[in-house]
Structure 1
Amino acid sequence: MHKGKRNSITDVPGVTVGHVTLNEKINEEESVCTGVTAILPHAGNWFEQKVPAASFVLNGFGKTAGLVQVDELGVLESPIMLTNTFSVAAVLQGTLDYMLAENPAIGDSTSSLNLVVGECNDSYLNSMRRMAVEPGHAAQAIQSASADFAQGAVGAGKGMICYGVKGGIGSSSRIAEYEDQQFTAGVLALTNFGRKEEIAIANWQAEQSPEKRPDGSVIIIVATDAPLDSRQLKRLSKRAAIGIGRTGTHIHNGSGDIIIAFSTAYTVAHRQQSPFTETRVLRDDHELMAQLFQGVIEATEEAIYQSLFRAATTVGRMGRIVEKGKFL
């Protein structure tokens, strides 16, 4: 399948991504090596104009916030925020502060707010107990979001490890086409999973760590401009699991493997006088749906590899070094 112009999730019109990267050596034993990544579904008011969404939990060893309501109501009403495990609370607080400032009615004259925050454990390189991520970093990541964004050891991916080498943020996209119709499926991956002997890349060299590392996690964000409802987006999110598997992982016990999917094709108004909502969605049995399934699989696989190819050798806590992977 064809790739989008940027070969990233931001090939889906309106989607932007921002990072805040924290990298500081505190002393000989402790280092801050972490960050925040924000995925914005559109440039408008996310609470007032929600987008259809769904999630799929491949393995639930994770500490995400907000997915229960996403699956219950089928909409996303905030940016998707990514960070390390111990910083979910700070990022949630910072995103809440940002959105309350933008929406005075929330929690007053209208309903509360559902925020979505995903995480991976970066404690091998990052002194996670210091909880260096502050609420203000969430707002900074949101405000820095753009269509052109860095990949690799940046943002939430700064301290992540994948298949024994440096992981982090990766992205890719594919185009589904039929006659005069064209839709984009874009994927962003936060990679922190897999053992070095599992990777499906031939002649790929990864270091053998003398220390046991956590099983890790992967968060996959799928975006599309195809008109899909939440049920169809859950179907799409399940295909991303195949893309993860293509890279070689066995999905270990301690790995949180979570996929969140949303569509920008239409929005769901927070307030509406009519008791009915009408939406136009793609047929499940149409060729375009089959192409979207394939596109998500391919883009997920490539996004994971991009997180490796674009990473950089990183020094973290206890003087630990995680090398960038390379071909033999």
Structure 2
Amino acid sequence: MTPRGRLRARGAGVPLVGEPGPWNAITDVAGVEVGYCTLIKGEPPLQVGVGPVRTGVTAIFPRGRARPEAGAYAGFFSMSGIGEMSGAAFVDERGRFDGPVTITNTHSCGLARDVTARWLFARHDPGEKPDQPFYLPVAAETHDGALNDINGHHIKEAHIIEALEAARSGPVDEGNVGGGTGMRCFEFKGGSGTASRVVPYEGGVYTVGAFVQSNFGKRHLLRIAGVPVGLEIPKVQSTVPECGSIIGIVATDAPMAPHQLRRIARRAAYGISATGGIASNESGDLFLAFSTANDQAVRQHEGLVTTEFLGEGAMSGFYEATIQSVEEAILNSMFAAETMVGVDAFTAHALPVSQVQEILRRYNRISEMA
């Protein structure tokens, strides 16, 4: 269950491979913290600038809120570029980013980026970021205009700061929270989701965690545990065209070089494929992967820098963990989501969990816990 008491995919009996961490969340990677601001107010019909408001902000710190400027080695991948992730060029150039990642709706992405830069400058620590106090924050978006008055620009500076300052470790809420509040997935209600996997290697244990803001996919393509669930659940109403996207953030405590993290970011797309995603023409499918290892090396800007990174022979095991984590995070974003009524009474229906369970039983694809 989520902290709000919402059922997750494993709790519903979906048979998922791989061993999760204690919270089955991106926060299982030590140091990573997640914060939300959720805005739900007003009723249809749409009045631009008034509502209905169904949106929010998510903030993810790679090394915790106590070290807001702290950076990490990273890699970026765009599976489909109908979307935005600020700071991606910097990640490609230097193989790193600094400070928290924010995720929100399409028309608030620039504000999230700018507010984060100001928030970081106010907390600048020359010992943490010795090069210079300039910031190119990572801010990403997906479109919630079917449910939210997106052209009303309801996200304000205070909401972004609220998400940044709410960041914590531990269990993470999912579904209709944070930036995922007004999102849809496979023409059901989608939103925020997370999962993790532990990876034994060379006598130690590492963790891979994923966080997604899911807002993509056509109903007939949805697959759960390999079962064509979307074909079994016909649509009960016409839906607005997909204007989707998904943002995927993958974290690990395994030491990886930037080129390895680019490879991890690319594999996140396979996790989407496992659920039936095809990176459609209307979708922006953007992924960032980072490592919390090599902390001291990331902070060093002069002299010879010494880092550790995995031998290439280790990568396939981490690919598996990435794919499994992203797949489960997407499913969690749907299982935990609740039906939402938005713009002009358009309704995004929650995934009908009991019906999904019955379908999985017919395919002999459900665990005993259900």
> Same fold per TM (> 0.5)?
yes
Does the 8 Å contact 2:44/2:345 carry over to 1?
A: no
Aligned to 1:312: 338
Aligned to 1:132: 154
**Separation of aligned partners in 1, 2:321 and 2:218:** 26
**Separation of aligned partners in 2, 1:50 and 1:70:** 11
Superposed counterparts of 1:131-210, under 5 Å? 131-147=153-169, 148-201=171-224, 202=227, 203=229, 205=233, 207-210=235-238
TM-score (norm 2): 0.83
**Separation of aligned partners in 2, 1:271 and 1:227:** 15
Does the 8 Å contact 2:104/2:179 carry over to 1?
A: yes
Aligned-residue offset at 1:79? 0.5
Identity percentage of aligned residues? 34
Structure 2 CA distance for partners of 1:132 and 1:108, relative to 1, 3 Å: farther
**Separation of aligned partners in 2, 1:162 and 1:146:** 26
1:173-214 deviation digits (Å, cap 9, x = unpaired): 011103521100000010000010110134453634424323
More strand by share: 1
**Separation of aligned partners in 2, 1:300 and 1:19:** 20
Does the 8 Å contact 1:186/1:296 carry over to 2?
A: yes
Structure 2 CA distance for partners of 1:102 and 1:321, relative to 1, 3 Å: same
Q: Which one of 294, 302, 308 corresponds to residue 266 of structure 1?
A: 294
Aligned-residue offset at 1:229? 1.1
- Poorly superposed stretches of 4+, deviation over 4 Å: 104-109, 268-274
Aligned-residue offset at 1:28? 2.9
AA of the residue aligned to 1:117: A
**2:23 is the alignment partner of 1:6:** yes
2:77 aligned counterpart, secondary structure: strand
**Separation of aligned partners in 1, 2:245 and 2:217:** 8
Aligned-residue offset at 1:45? 2.9
Unaligned runs of 5+ in 1: none
Structure 2 CA distance for partners of 1:141 and 1:206, relative to 1, 3 Å: farther
Does the 8 Å contact 1:156/1:168 carry over to 2?
A: yes
Aligned to 1:282: 310
**Separation of aligned partners in 1, 2:85 and 2:95:** 17
Q: Which one of 131, 135, 143 corresponds to residue 113 of structure 1?
A: 135
AA of the residue aligned to 1:198: L
Aligned to 1:294: 320
Does the 8 Å contact 2:187/2:239 carry over to 1?
A: no
Aligned-residue offset at 1:114? 1.1
> Alignment RMSD, CA only?
2.1
**Separation of aligned partners in 2, 1:161 and 1:152:** 10
**2:87 is the alignment partner of 1:66:** yes
1:101-124 deviation digits (Å, cap 9, x = unpaired): 101769999252110000000000
**Separation of aligned partners in 1, 2:297 and 2:245:** 34
**Separation of aligned partners in 2, 1:107 and 1:269:** 12
